């Protein structure tokens, strides 16, 4: 199974454990690779590398106070007289905690990268350095799509940062070290090799192409670094394949190219990560279709639909085109394309290798951010209804991109579901599009707010979820 290392949260992907691990410092990777030839070479120590990079690896602690529901008997003064306000010995509040790792990527600004799931829903975050200092940290940017987060430490003195590597230079078989705080025992270093590159469909976030390693990664390593032999961060360890929750030698790290995108957005003061907008929906290339196209293997992404006036449309991409590569790098499926396209810098162009009518052609696509064609106008729904606890907003290409939705550009979308709310209990999900209430089409978030102020004996709710229309009736 895949489970978050710090939180043991079960992922939806078949049999994986999503985990955030610690990130490490980086240095140039242009080195000669050779197999050890002597006993002396085999017994060389990693100690100098660890000594240089360890000060940049930190522990990340999160906490939040949860209020327990009050026992109904406590409304009676008679019971409070004998049992107090705690309610039969049950605390009115409890503290939820999380533990993970992180890595300093900017010493001057005090920026630390960790996994989003380490600090998700946490109201207090602290960072503990290798020299035992412990300081408060501010959550600068969270990106659930990549399971990455950037923290800013309150005290940015005497910090040492690690360079982010160029992961395109990484090769299968390269030696790497993973550093973090497994099971809270303290800073730990494990060694392994790069087992595979460009692993997709891991079930952790989206737009990903993971580095696979056999370096031991365990709960508590979340947000920590995977470093190369030059001391550069090549990835942030984020998941393991395991049936028990412990390491079995199959771990996954988010490549440094994606980490750099998130860090640069935080440096720029952005509230969200700015990614290039493609404006098309892709499907995996099946073996039958690949055979019909004369391809020797089912590697590529089929254009299923194109958003009018989007970058893909303006570049001339058509339905049924097969995208084989981005800037000369092969992309085997939509997930690999999403990672490669998302890490291109906004403002330029990228060249797609496309198979059309049996011919391979190169199509340049402009790298632009998704536009916010109308104000998102978020509204939290509090009226008594099946939707109580939802936050809804107006859809636009920008909102759809942030929520990782496929080409949906208009309507009203659920942007947040309050934990423990009526809507959460019913099963509403982030990304659901509210199409109609009691048969009335919903065009804006204010339309939804207005109709829910009415008292109804029943509510007929129609939503769209991942292309499927669902209609249900709930009591008022």
Residue corresponding to tokens 């799509």: 145
Three state DSSP letters for the chain: CCECCCCCCECCCCCCEECCEECCCECCCCCCCCCCCCHHHHCCCCHHHHHHHHHHEEEEEEEEEEECCCCHHHHCHHHHHHHCCCCCCCCCEEEEEEEEEEEEEECCCCEEEEEHHHHCCCCEEEEECCCCCEEEEEEEEEECCCCEEEEEECCCCCCCCCCECCHHHCCCCCEEEEEECHHHCCCEEEEEEEEEEEECCCCCCCCCCEEEECCCCCCCCCEEEEECCCCEEEEEEEEECCCCCCCCCCEEEEEHHHHHHHHHHHHCCCCCCCCECCCEEEEECCHHHHHHCCCCCCCCEEEEEECCCCHHHHHCCCCCCEEEEECCEECCCHHHHHHHHHCCCCCCEEEEEEEECCEEEEEEEECCECCCCCCCCCEECCCCCCCCCEEEEECCHHHHHHCCCCCCCCCEEEEEECCCCHHHHHCCCCCCEEEEECCEECCCHHHHHHHHCCCCCEEEEEEEECCEEEEEEEEC
Catalytic residue among 3, 147, 214, 321: 147
Residue 337 has which token pair? 């394309």
Catalytic residue among 222, 242, 247, 415: 222
What is each CA distance from 174 to 32, 225, 304, in whole angstroms?
11, 15, 37
CB 116 within 8 A of CB 148: yes
CA distances to 226, 249, 250 from 212, rounded to whole Å, are 10, 9, 7
Q: Are 142 and 116 in contact (CB under 8 A)?
A: yes
β-strands 379-380, 329-330 pairing: unpaired
- Number of Cβ within a 10 Å radius of residue 329: 11
Annotation marks residue 222 as catalytic: yes
Report the alpha-carbon distance of residue 386 to residue 217 in Å, rounded: 42
Q: Which of 56, 101, 106, 117 is catalytic?
A: 117
Question: Catalytic site residues?
Answer: 117, 147, 222
């Amino acid at each position: 199974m895949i489970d978050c290392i710090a939180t043991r949260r079960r992922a939806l992907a078949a049999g994986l454990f999503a985990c955030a691990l610690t990130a490490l410092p980086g240095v140039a990777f242009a080195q000669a690779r050779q197999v050890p030839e002597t006993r002396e070479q085999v017994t060389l120590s990693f100690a100098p590398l660890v000594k240089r990079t360890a000060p940049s690896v930190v522990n990340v602690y999160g906490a939040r106070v949860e209020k327990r529901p009050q026992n109904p008997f406590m409304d009676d003064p008679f019971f409070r007289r004998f049992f107090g306000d705690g309610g039969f010995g049950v605390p009115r509040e409890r503290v939820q905690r999380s533990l993970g790792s992180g890595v300093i990527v900017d010493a001057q600004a005090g920026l630390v990268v960790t996994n989003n799931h380490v600090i998700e829903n946490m109201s207090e975050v602290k960072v503990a350095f290798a020299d035992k200092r412990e300081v408060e940290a501010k959550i600068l940017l969270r990106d659930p799509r990549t399971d990455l987060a950037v923290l800013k430490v309150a005290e940015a003195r005497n910090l040492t940062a690690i360079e982010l590597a160029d992961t395109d230079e990484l090769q299968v078989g390269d030696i790497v070290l993973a550093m973090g705080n497994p099971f809270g025992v303290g800073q730990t270093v494990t060694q392994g090799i790069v087992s595979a590159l460009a692993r997709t469909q891991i079930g952790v976030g989206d737009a990903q192409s993971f580095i696979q390693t056999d370096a031991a990664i365990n709960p508590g390593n979340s947000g920590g670094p995977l470093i190369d032999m030059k001391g550069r961060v090549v990835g942030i360890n984020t998941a393991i394949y395991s049936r028990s929750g412990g390491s079995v030698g199959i771990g996954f790290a988010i490549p440094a190219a994606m980490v750099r995108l998130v860090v640069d957005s935080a440096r720029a003061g952005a509230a969200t990560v700015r990614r290039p907008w493609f404006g098309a929906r892709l499907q995996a290339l099946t073996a039958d279709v690949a055979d019909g196209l004369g391809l020797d293997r089912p590697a590529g992404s089929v254009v299923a639909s194109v958003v009018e006036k989007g970058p893909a449309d303006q570049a001339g991409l058509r339905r049924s085109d097969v995208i084989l590569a981005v800037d000369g790098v092969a992309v085997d499926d939509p997930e690999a394309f999403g990672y490669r396209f998302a890490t291109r810098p906004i403002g330029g162009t990228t060249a797609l290798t496309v198979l059309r009518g049996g011919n391979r052609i190169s199509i340049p696509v402009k790298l632009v951010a998704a536009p916010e064609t109308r104000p998102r106008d978020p509204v939290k729904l509090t009226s008594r209804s099946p939707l109580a606890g939802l936050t809804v907003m107006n859809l636009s290409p920008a909102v759809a991109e942030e929520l990782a939705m496929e080409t949906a550009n208009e309507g009203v979308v659920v942007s947040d579901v309050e934990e423990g709310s009526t809507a959460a209990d019913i099963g509403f999900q982030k990304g659901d599009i509210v199409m109609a209430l009691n048969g009335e089409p919903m065009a804006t978030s204010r339309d939804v707010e207005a109709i829910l102020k009415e008292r109804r004996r029943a509510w007929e709710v129609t939503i769209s979820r991942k292309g499927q229309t669902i209609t249900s009736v709930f009591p008022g």
